[in-house]
A and B are shown apart, each in its own frame.
Chain A
Amino acid sequence: MSKEYILKTENLGIDFGGLTAVNNLNLKIEKNQIYGLIGPNGAGKTTVFNLLTKVYEPTRGKVIIDGQSTEKMDLVAVNKLGIARTFQNIRLFKELSVLDNVKVGLHNQKEYSLVSAIFRLPKFGSAEKEIESEAMELLDVLGLKEFADFKAKNLPYGKQRKLEIARALATHPKILLLDEPAAGMNPAETAELLDTVKFIRDHFQIAILLIEHDMKFVMGLCEKITVLNFGEVLAYGDPDDIKNNPEVIAAYLGSDE
């Protein structure tokens, strides 16, 4: 009996025109695992995220989330299945308040009908109260509580990244995909983020798959790492294996032949 994987891919691949962007990818991510996906620029990391969340339809292979194949599912359906993500180029709901951004994430968690909304039936009041308190809780986890009434577009860059995490968490995912969460942060902020990510994993009991260029961050956080290069897996293993893998070093620094 194999281990229970929360996310598994089988020979996943996609071509854009004649170009193979990702090929033959086999990821296996366990429950509660923090997993790193690294590689040089253009290696296809974000494309993998787009395949996992069905922004792109794979050309080959399968994605299995919590035992269910995502074939014929769209973005919305895979989110409901338990996968949530952040974006490399921040995609917040710019005109909404910080609090409302998280509340949108809770859309499918606490429901009431349009009729109760328009006529303000009791169901509306009780559900909204729960939504409000859970949203505030999530903002608290990410340290955004005092910004709740800000418009999302007015937040500083680093806080916008954190808001994306809060919004993704609001959908109650089983696995959270973070696309360069530490980009644009200074070392102190990065260190703080590292603790936050660990806290999220422990508190919500979810798996986390992250793309990151900050090696200190990745090595300090991830339990397993896959290295991509030109869309193919270059290496796989523990942080220590990866650090000392000559092929990985060559890929990052370039090899002299």
Chain B
Amino acid sequence: MSFLSYLITGLSLGSVYAIIALGYTMVYGIAKMLNFAHGDVIMVGAYVSFLAIGKYDTPALVACLLSVFACTILGVLIERLAYKPLRSAPSLAVLITAIGVSYFLQNSAQLLWGTDTKVFPAMLGTNQLVLFNGELMISYVTIATIVACIIIMTVLTLFINKTKIGKAMRACSEDKGAAQLMGINVDNTISITFAIGSGLAAIASVLLCTAYPALNPTLGSMPGIKAFTAAVFGGIGSIPGAFIGGLMLGILETFSIVYISSQLSDAIVFGVLIIVLLLRPTGLLGKKIRVKV
């Protein structure tokens, strides 16, 4: 029974990674950039909901919505101010700018909210679902996380495939120049992508901090790197890939912590990533691009 409980814990952690990874993968798909500031947007989202609940005593759902709102605006602002001027710049310049944004967010958070670790309030309570006469206990947070991930995934897939904006996003990710010629507003489409990615980061931040309630200005870095790894696992640029990659990473990490060693879990996770990339050089669901000569 303990196996099942670990599996569920892993799925829940993986769901958080998957939600963050979706943000990475969408931005990569459309802007072809590694947005290293994404992890820090998560951090900002966590602080916003923390302050909303702690200081102004808002209900959990309102706090969560506030956080989504704040991050969406932040995401669009970052894109417009920092990345948009670099649309035709070499990818390394954009990468370094993203790192600059990441430093900026971390240090702003430090100035605004201090460096000390704060405890995130239990937003969804600590109730547990008891199954099999108490042999399997699952907290409602865990269930909520997994359900949230599945809902987000479904809605996002429908959005990308069925709506006009979704179609524009797919067009931009294939060829920005051609999309522009077809009358698609590329700038707006990219902004929308950042908005969605950042909004998802806010949701992830609430779920993450409910599971691991320690709040500090660098809390987004490690989940950011992990989620990024998850996106690569699945094939960066691919939305179902991010979902599968996130879940796999969560399960892998949980299992290596409980069955092998908590100190070595990072090494194992990254080791598996390397093996996956060697077997499938563009991730599980990534597209292979043929070079034209």
Q: Which residues of A contact B293 (CB under 8 A)?
A: 46, 50, 55, 87, 89
Give B288 Cβ to nearest chain A Cβ, in Å.
13
Give B279 Cβ to nearest chain A Cβ, in Å.
20
Q: Which residues of B contact A46 (CB under 8 A)?
A: 293
Residue of A nearest to B291 (CB): A55
Residue of A nearest to B290 (CB): A16
* Bitwise interface map of A from 39 to 64 toward B, beta carbon under 8 Å scored 1, else 0: 00000001000100001000000000
Interface of A, helix, strand, loop or mixed by DSSP: loop
Residue of A nearest to B293 (CB): A55
Give B206 Cβ to nearest chain A Cβ, in Å.
46
* Bitwise interface map of A from 110 to 152 toward B, beta carbon under 8 Å scored 1, else 0: 0000000000000000000000000000000000000000000
Residue of B nearest to A47 (CB): B293
Give B90 Cβ to nearest chain A Cβ, in Å.
13
Q: Which residues of B contact A55 (CB under 8 A)?
A: 293
Q: How far is the CA of A87 from the CA of B293 in the complex (A)?
A: 8
Give A2 Cβ to nearest chain B Cβ, in Å.
32
Give A87 Cβ to nearest chain B Cβ, in Å.
7
Q: Which residues of B contact A50 (CB under 8 A)?
A: 293
CB contact list, A93-119 vs B, under 8 A? none
* Bitwise interface map of B from 264 to 293 toward A, beta carbon under 8 Å scored 1, else 0: 000000000000000000000000000001
Give A29 Cβ to nearest chain B Cβ, in Å.
21
Give A54 Cβ to nearest chain B Cβ, in Å.
11
Give A10 Cβ to nearest chain B Cβ, in Å.
23
Q: How far is the CA of A89 from the CA of B293 in the complex (A)?
A: 7
Q: How far is the CA of A55 from the CA of B292 in the complex (A)?
A: 10
Q: Which residues of B contact A89 (CB under 8 A)?
A: 293
Q: Which residues of B contact A87 (CB under 8 A)?
A: 293
Q: How far is the CA of A89 from the CA of B291 in the complex (A)?
A: 13
Residue of A nearest to B292 (CB): A89
Give B154 Cβ to nearest chain A Cβ, in Å.
32
Give A244 Cβ to nearest chain B Cβ, in Å.
34
Give A183 Cβ to nearest chain B Cβ, in Å.
16
Q: How far is the CA of A154 from the CA of B37 in the complex (A)?
A: 37
Residue of B nearest to A53 (CB): B293
Give B243 Cβ to nearest chain A Cβ, in Å.
28
Residue of B nearest to A85 (CB): B293
Q: Which B positions have Cβ atoms within 8 angstroms of A?
A: 293
Give the 5 A-B residue pairs with the shortest CB-CB distance, closest first.
Answer: A55-B293, A50-B293, A87-B293, A46-B293, A89-B293
Name 5 interchain pairs, CB-CB below 8 A, sorted by A.
Answer: A46-B293, A50-B293, A55-B293, A87-B293, A89-B293
